[in-house]
Amino acid sequence: MMLNMKRPNDRVGNQRRHFVHSMACAFTRTDLICVLALVAMLLGLAGFRLTGERGRIARCAGNLQKLGTAMHQFASEHEDGLPAATIVPGGLEWDVRLKPYLRPDLVVANSAYAKRELGEAVAPIYACPSDRIARAKPRSYAMSHCDVVNVGWPVNADSATGLGIWWGQDSIKGVLGDAAWTKAKQDPDSLPKVKLSMISEPANTLLLTELIRHDNTLGNIYWTFAKNAGEQYEKPKADATPFHNGRFNYLMVDGHVEWLTGLQTGGIGGTSGIWTIRKGD
């Protein structure tokens, strides 16, 4: 009789354990579905944020960071010196100097084919996706202006000037002398460079930013530098859309990018704030 009395209780216990196990499995599947739904929602939200102008701003900042990395690689091979914005004898602009560092895998023989392939491969990095001015070979970026004519040489940590030098005949002869001009025509790299070691506040010093103009194109000796925020944007005709929602991307020497208005950069005139090497202005 005792055995018979225990069997119903065992069946009830088994049913209860089976029910608990089933409920646990059900909750596990429900939890999994909830997690997957949450992940899908977050991915969708991230995708939404990276579309439209916000997405273009992010891609533009990525371009600037790639160019900044190439700038530092150039400096590491040139005694800490940054490329000049433009060297007129030899036609060397900063964008030309950086191409080999953007796609080193394509740097082979000095053949016309190799040079053409290199240019076509890296050209998209120089174009901001929000740059709507139609032109061949767009270059949407520029260095900050280094005014060696008025500031003089050598540029130092207290100079109220930027980083991108225009080395033309007048500036070379006026600052360095006739002999330097003669030598530069044979060896453009003989010209002095602004060194990274001169920059005491790399996080607050501008290296590259957008310069959206119809004649800012790859390989062009003009518009290789921006003097101030006031000249950064040439609005296309019949285009009422503000560029980057009224701001610009600014790549600092330390490699980070800030999205700022012109006023936030420290001065529309370009003689203070992030536009100069000088500390604390």
Residue 235's pLDDT is what? 81
Average pLDDT over residues 117-137: 91
- Minimum mean pLDDT range among 106-115, 179-188, 245-254: 106-115
- Full-model pTM: 0.80
Of the ranges 26-35, 164-173, 210-219, 242-251, which one carries the lowest mean pLDDT score? 26-35
> pLDDT per residue over 58-68, tens digit each?
999 999 999 99
Q: What pLDDT, on a 0 to 100 scale, did the predictor assign at position 135?
A: 92
Average pLDDT for 146-159:
92
Q: Give the separation between CA 137 and CA 217, rounded to whole angstroms.
A: 6
Q: How confident is the model at residue 48 (pLDDT cuts 50, 70, 90)?
A: very low
How do beta strands 248-252 and 257-260 pair? antiparallel
pLDDT score of 42 more than 80:
no
pLDDT of residue 19: 47
Other CB atoms closer than 10 Å to residue 58's CB: what's the count?
Answer: 15
Q: Is the pLDDT of residue 202 over 90?
A: yes
With a cut of 80, say whether residue 2 has pLDDT above it.
Answer: no
Q: How far apart are CA 73 and CA 167, in angstroms?
A: 21
Q: How far is CA 125 from CA 64, 86, 140, 264, in A?
A: 8, 19, 9, 26
| pLDDT of res. 158 | 92
pLDDT in tens, 6-21: 444 555 455 555 544 5
What pLDDT digit, counting tens, does each position of 61-95 carry? 999 999 999 999 999 999 999 999 999 998 899 99
d(CA 19, CA 13): 10
